[in-house]
Structure 1
Amino acid sequence: MSVLTRDEAQTRAELLDVHRYTIDLDLTRGDDTFDSRTLIRFAARVDGDTFVELKPAELRSVTLDGHPLDPEALDGNRLPLKDLTAGEHELRVDARMRYSRTGEGMHRFTDPTDGETYVYTQLFLDDVQRVFAAFDQPDLKAVFELSVKAPQDWTVLTNGITEQADGVWKAAPTPLISTYLVAVAAGPWHSVRTEHRGLPFGLHCRRSLAPYLDADADELLDITRACFDRYHEKFDEPYPFDSYDQAFVPEFNAGAMENPGLVTFRDEFVYRSAVTDTERQTRAMVIAHEMAHMWFGDLVTLKWWDDIWLNESFAEYMGYQTLTEATRFTDTWTDFGVTRKSWGYDADQRPSTHPVAPEAVDDTASALLNFDGISYAKGASALRQLVAWLGEKDFLAGINTHFARHKFANATLADFIDNLAAATDRDVHAWADAWLRTTGVDTLTPRIAPGEHGTCALTVDRAGSRPHRVAAGLYDRDLGDDGGQLVLRERLHLDLPQTDAHPIGKRPALLLLNDGDLSYAKVRFDPESFETVRKELSGLPEPLTRAVVWNALRDAVRDGELAPGAYLETARAHLPLETDLAIVQGVLAFASTYITDRYLTPEERPAALATLSDLCRDLIRRTEDGDNPGLRL
């Protein structure tokens, strides 16, 4: 099968305007295949040749403007359309298509619990060709009108509101969307339905999971409503589709997919046993992330796959930020710092690293390689840094300009930066070059020099090339009756590179760069601060501050500047006192997966495993005894 190249996509986009797809699917034809009939109305701007993509089990017939084409002309996944004349055209394709059992195209699943069967689409990037014929690239948006024949006891969900008559479900025509965003989910779904702000909302899962979905439905809908309302406070453009369904589907390869109006989630998010609050927070973040895509990804779509970060980084940033602002999950950036940023840091220090926004992605196969911690976590960190640098007011003004200029169309990085620049006097283009076109992680190291009368001054060494707006947290020891705590004296806001020394008064017990985790950088400690961390880390008052410290220790181990055993000793001393479960999980994961399994010698490993076992027993005991309520289920 041929992959689509960037040059081919540009050539086709210059030739064609695609208006409307009318798609008829018949899901009653058996367990292995389904029927797919497609009518594509499009226009050629000039005379020329092109092709349409399709991966059929059998191509029965093709007609162009009423004239039959030879089905045998199908070459792999490409059907040539030769000698097109300038003007309007109609292409009709009748095909038999295969169900997938591996998650792409039209996936079919039979529930072993009750024997019920479900199908759903996952068309991302280039898998629409497994369901219907298409000019399959993101910048050839069109209206999609779907009709689906299904067994009598099935419900069919699509991107919009559907009506059913005699086993045939007809969906309202979509606004202009990209081919990879078309969605169908069909089966005997269990559904929970409501309305919000005049729009139908729905939750759906297979019938065997009905009791578990019902138990969590109020929580899921509350989060959905809260995020929906918060996005409408942030964005000038209203939600652009006619309904909002969330379907929890089986055997899903990804975490979720942002199909407009019909978001699909892996049905492991329908919890079947007791889970931690951190797991509920993760599910809530995925809900917020996918909803953000309704604007950034669905309303405004990338022009080509080199700008995938415009989808994923934005949704990642906005999901965490909006969840923090609109729901009871107010410490989401701690979870991001511990679990997601480490994903970005690791990916960015491998030989396979790439810029957040690559200069060019040559084809669709190459595009898949960029779905990693850089496009998600590093890109979201860069956006968080951009907000800290621009201010949220100017950032949102630029975002809303972007939506207004490109709604139901496509945009590039250059468009995005131009729209942000229109809202500020700052040089956003230079910022983008420094942050989005480069690779690697900067390292920030504090230098504290003594001055007169017991005062000190701070300078920061920067190994790297990016500008950073960061906070330096100054922490003193609590000298009160309780003791054992570190108290924030002040957060200094620094723009790096900084050449002048910054007065900081008396020497703090701990100086922490990037306090608040607003930038993407590795941070180091001065010697006295490092000793404070080793002895008093659990005395820091805020979980996000502790997450920054744990990340710094992790990076020091990874870079060979801190002995693995020293990290494990610090975890043994302070993790039993930790109240944030995301931190506990992140530290334990690093300690077990990297420290004990990879970084220690065979001779050192038994003692390290014993230490880790003692640590876990201590955590469990303190949880059971009620000493650490933050870690309970």
Structure 2
Amino acid sequence: MPGTNLTRDEAQARAALVETHSYDVDLDLTGGPDTFRSTTVARFRVREPGTTFLDLVSDDVTRVTLRHSGTGGQAVALDPAHHHHDSRLWLRDLPAGDVEVTVEAWCRYMNTGEGLHRFVDPVDKETYLYTQFEVADSRRVFAVFEQPDLKATFAYTVTAPDHWQVVSVSPTPAPEPREHRTATWRFAPTPRVSSYVTAVVAGPYHAVRDELVSRDGRTIPLGVFCRASLAEHLDADEVLDTTRRGFAYFEQAFDQAYPFEKYDQLFVPEFNAGAMENAGCVTFTETYVFRSKTPEAFHERRAVTVLHELAHMWFGDLVTMRWWDDLWLNESFAEFASTLATAEATRWHQAWTTFSSMEKSWAYRQDQLPTTHPVIADIRDLEDVEVNFDGITYAKGASVLKQLVAWVGREEFFAGLRAYFRAHAWGSTVFSDLLRELAAASGRDLDDWVARWLRTSGVNTLRAEVVETADGTLERVTLHQEAPSEHPVLRQHRLSVGCYDLVDGVLVRTHRVELDVDGERTDVPGLVGLPRPDLLLLNDEDLAYAKVRLDDRSLATATSHLSDLSDAMPRSVVWGAAWDMLRDAETPARTFVDLVLGNVGAETESSVVLTLVRQLSSAARLYTPPQERDATASRVAAGLLDLARRADPGGDIQLQAVRAFCGFVRDPAHVAVVRDLLSGRESLPGLVVDTDLRWDLVGAVAGADSDGSLRSGQLVDAELARDDTASGQRAAAAALAARPSRQAKEEAWARVLSGDLPNAVSAATIAGFGRTPDPALFEPFLDRYFDVLLPQWEARTNEMAQQLVTGLYPLPLVTEDVVARGDAWLAAHPDAPAGLRRLVLENRDGTARALRVQAVGAR
């Protein structure tokens, strides 16, 4: 990564000097498997004489020419060796006026999910390409001013095999035939957009096409694409239905027609994230193409992601942040808007419950790390932004935007938003531009709200102090607000308090009070005189961004009767409170394990179940004291298996229980169950052991094969022969790395550090490496982990470096020595890159927290 950073100060200076006009980008994709030819013609205006630079990552720049008034309009050749170094193409002593630069270079295909990613399908041996440019990787494909505020038009010309689909921001033109079974596609110029939201996707993709009519009467072509070998699994109808609903919802809410000419959605291989908002050419991870039965949670998550990227077409692509300081606003808005649209325009009406369970839990976790930061982060350079795609930027930001909507009023919020789009369409903005419109529409002064919520860090905790009379009547209820000592900010919260009582075996809400909480103490007079409820639930409808605590009586009620609470949202709040109490070392892991095993079977929301089984895994593996860990794992496995056998045949709970059970298989009896399910000797009514579930079962056997007696290697080979696809190869890599033996871990470690693995296979291998029933297997890797941190960070691209630093950390090895080793590394490397230090700090904090929680359970 050396030589590829860009600071905010440099970007601001360049934007003051340069006004960008257009790029003509010509890509020849007909060469070999390693490189492609890129030719760029960049046109821009220099406001005053000065020196600037284009960004380009290339090992072989073959020609650079410069044309401006000082050259008499003639193209003057520049020596690439003199002008191109450290990924910058320097243009020195430019006169004021119009400039044209032509750059020819050979650029590298990537296998890291950055730049122009190249993938060969093991099924049909066809090549598939796609670009991923955020944050700053368009420069891996062409010469560009790589910063979001220097918008321009982009005219792509692509030469590729003639049987390929080629898709970009502009509608796909008719290909022009060329020799050797190739063709050229000449795309019309785009509107003025940032380089990071342009895209090229090329390969023999399968396409499903449709169209809709925009609110301004235009017909908008729609396309849904995936690799040909996945075509039979592509449920394009559901994707298109969600898309249509999103178009209607957002065009009405924003009072602005869809800003581009067409809308293609492409599911691409080995994608690093969920999706990317390329203008009219959105790319998604192809794990959203479900080739086996999946929990309903996955369908809901795909719908939210589809709507998240669609919201970006207005907020992000039409109007774009000036610099990455406002990344939070870009992503938080899309997260808020997509959840709102999912809840109000699709079948997933409980989307805010999912948000409470998943996103807010992520936000609370991130906000308690030593590296937490204000929602409005100080993004000094590209290295800062690369590690800032986090729970603050997405989930906390969306949570506080939800509060902002309540604070200014929904109608006023959207009125301000519509004015913002009208004023800044096709431009670049800062947060104050939006704030100004919201203040004007609502008549509210928002400075105090911004200061408390967006410019400070940390999450508050709310507890109830209850005083009751001798007959059980509430005499006084006081809410106490706490703030961590590192971030001692008390905030104003709008929330409701619910009283729940057991009535005929069902927990029902018998009273509700909504109020503002501010400062250390807030009395709740609306509860005085009521009978003491069985469950007193703070933040009942999840209006506030704050952790809440359950008093002893409420916790006992929840543990025994949570499944008797009929409403999904208060159940989610209780689940979240119990999880936070565990992570904050206020309750032992066994309490949370009991709560989940006793109540998850009655949970109705698939996404909540998915969150709970993941939290159950952490509780059993990380937060349970070592002396209880094996027994707890066996108890969890038995509980999940029993749940699967009792669940509705073919239902969501059954499938999730079996998949979660596979992660806890250790005992010989449980291994036997897995083998019988694989062979068909045992079956659960309604459970289809399809391709992906078979891999879960194979992985379960591998994860229990400590001495090789289960012959898991041969089992993996046999399964891979059945499913020699990209997904099968990833699953095989994870299963082999999961084997709990020193040799298997050494092999996985060597494969990952070799640098030869594509990003998706590397990620799968790392996931398998981290899975083991015996944390002692990581002891030989502890010193080696810290020894490779800096060399790997410097040698890898950002995505791959973060993957290694986070994934190879020996998290299951919860010891004081691991914490001390992290402290020693940090002390010895004060000048290490900020992004690397941040990840090491977060890893170290995870171990320290686990030690605190384990200590509570050991008392």
Task: Give the structure-2-normalised TM-score.
Answer: 0.71
Pairwise CA distance, 1:606: 2.9
| Counterpart for residue 509 of structure 1 | 534
- Are residue 260 (structure 1) and residue 279 (structure 2) matched? yes
- Are residue 606 (structure 1) and residue 627 (structure 2) matched? no
Aligned mates of 2:283, 2:499 — CA distance in 1? 45
- Are residue 555 (structure 1) and residue 580 (structure 2) matched? yes
Distance 1:161 1:415, change over 3 A: same
Pairwise CA distance, 1:542: 1.2
1:559 maps to a residue whose letter is D
Residue correspondence of structure 1 range 445-464 to structure 2 within 5 A: 445-450=463-468, 454-464=473-483
Please identify, of 604-613 and 497-506, the stretch whose mean Cα deviation from structure 2 is larger. Answer: 497-506
In structure 2, the residue corresponding to 1:599 is in which secondary structure?
A: coil
Please identify, of 451-460 and 397-406, the stretch whose mean Cα deviation from structure 2 is larger. Answer: 451-460
| Counterpart for residue 171 of structure 1 | 187
Task: Please point out which of 451, 462, 470 is paired with 1:433.
Answer: 451
Pairwise CA distance, 1:462: 1.0
1:77 maps to a residue whose letter is S
> Percent identical across equivalent pairs?
46
Pairwise CA distance, 1:452: 11
Aligned mates of 1:400, 1:456 — CA distance in 2? 48
In structure 2, the residue corresponding to 1:604 is in which secondary structure?
A: helix
Pairwise CA distance, 1:56: 1.8
- Are residue 381 (structure 1) and residue 395 (structure 2) matched? no
Aligned mates of 1:538, 1:340 — CA distance in 2? 22
Aligned mates of 1:444, 1:427 — CA distance in 2? 26
- Are residue 350 (structure 1) and residue 374 (structure 2) matched? no
Contact 1:458/1:503 (8 A) holds in 2: no
Please identify, of 503-512 and 513-522, the stretch whose mean Cα deviation from structure 2 is larger. Answer: 503-512
Residue correspondence of structure 1 range 618-629 to structure 2 within 5 A: 618-624=642-648
Distance 1:421 1:56, change over 3 A: same
| Counterpart for residue 167 of structure 2 | 157
Aligned mates of 1:62, 1:491 — CA distance in 2? 70
Aligned mates of 2:653, 2:637 — CA distance in 1? 21
2:615 maps to a residue whose letter is F
| Counterpart for residue 71 of structure 1 | 80
| Counterpart for residue 468 of structure 1 | 493
- Are residue 582 (structure 1) and residue 584 (structure 2) matched? no
| Counterpart for residue 307 of structure 2 | 288
Pairwise CA distance, 1:105: 0.8
| Counterpart for residue 494 of structure 1 | 515
Pairwise CA distance, 1:330: 1.1
**Which digits, 9 at most, give the CA deviation of each residue in 1:401-441, with x for residues without a partner?**
22122211111122222222111133322111111111111
Pairwise CA distance, 1:476: 2.5
Aligned mates of 1:261, 1:82 — CA distance in 2? 36
Q: Which runs of 5+ in 1 are unaligned?
A: none
| Counterpart for residue 410 of structure 2 | 392
Task: Please point out which of 60, 67, 76 is paired with 2:62.
Answer: 60
Contact 1:475/1:508 (8 A) holds in 2: yes
Contact 2:138/2:144 (8 A) holds in 1: yes
Structure with greater helix share of residues: 2
In structure 1, the residue corresponding to 2:242 is in which secondary structure?
A: helix
Residue correspondence of structure 1 range 537-548 to structure 2 within 5 A: 537-548=562-573
- Are residue 443 (structure 1) and residue 461 (structure 2) matched? yes
Contact 1:572/1:611 (8 A) holds in 2: no
Q: Which runs of 5+ in 2 are unaligned?
A: 68-74, 178-182, 214-218, 484-489, 657-686, 688-859
- Are residue 277 (structure 1) and residue 288 (structure 2) matched? no
Task: Please point out which of 19, 22, 25 is paired with 2:24.
Answer: 22
In structure 2, the residue corresponding to 1:561 is in which secondary structure?
A: coil
Aligned mates of 1:268, 1:405 — CA distance in 2? 38
Residue correspondence of structure 1 range 231-380 to structure 2 within 5 A: 231-358=250-377, 360-380=378-398
Pairwise CA distance, 1:628: 8.3
Distance 1:52 1:423, change over 3 A: same
Pairwise CA distance, 1:455: 4.8
Aligned mates of 2:538, 2:655 — CA distance in 1? 28
Task: Please point out which of 588, 595, 609 is paired with 1:570.
Answer: 595
Contact 2:265/2:281 (8 A) holds in 1: yes
Pairwise CA distance, 1:129: 0.9
In structure 2, the residue corresponding to 1:547 is in which secondary structure?
A: helix
| Counterpart for residue 425 of structure 2 | 407
- Are residue 527 (structure 1) and residue 548 (structure 2) matched? no
Contact 2:360/2:395 (8 A) holds in 1: yes
Distance 1:371 1:155, change over 3 A: same
Distance 1:257 1:320, change over 3 A: same
Contact 1:540/1:546 (8 A) holds in 2: yes
Aligned mates of 1:537, 1:456 — CA distance in 2? 26
**Which digits, 9 at most, give the CA deviation of each residue in 1:320-367, with x for residues without a partner?**
111111111111222222222222111111111111111x21110111
Distance 1:252 1:363, change over 3 A: same
Residue correspondence of structure 1 range 206-245 to structure 2 within 5 A: 206-213=227-234, 216-245=235-264
Aligned mates of 1:519, 1:306 — CA distance in 2? 25
Aligned mates of 1:103, 1:613 — CA distance in 2? 36
Aligned mates of 1:626, 1:145 — CA distance in 2? 50
Pairwise CA distance, 1:388: 2.4
Aligned mates of 1:473, 1:484 — CA distance in 2? 18
Aligned mates of 1:47, 1:402 — CA distance in 2? 34
Aligned mates of 1:626, 1:104 — CA distance in 2? 39
Aligned mates of 1:447, 1:394 — CA distance in 2? 36
| Counterpart for residue 110 of structure 1 | 120
Aligned mates of 2:291, 2:591 — CA distance in 1? 39
Question: Matched residue pairs, number?
Answer: 625
**Which digits, 9 at most, give the CA deviation of each residue in 1:109-162, with x for residues without a partner?**
111100111111111111111100001100000111111111111111001202
| Counterpart for residue 207 of structure 2 | 191
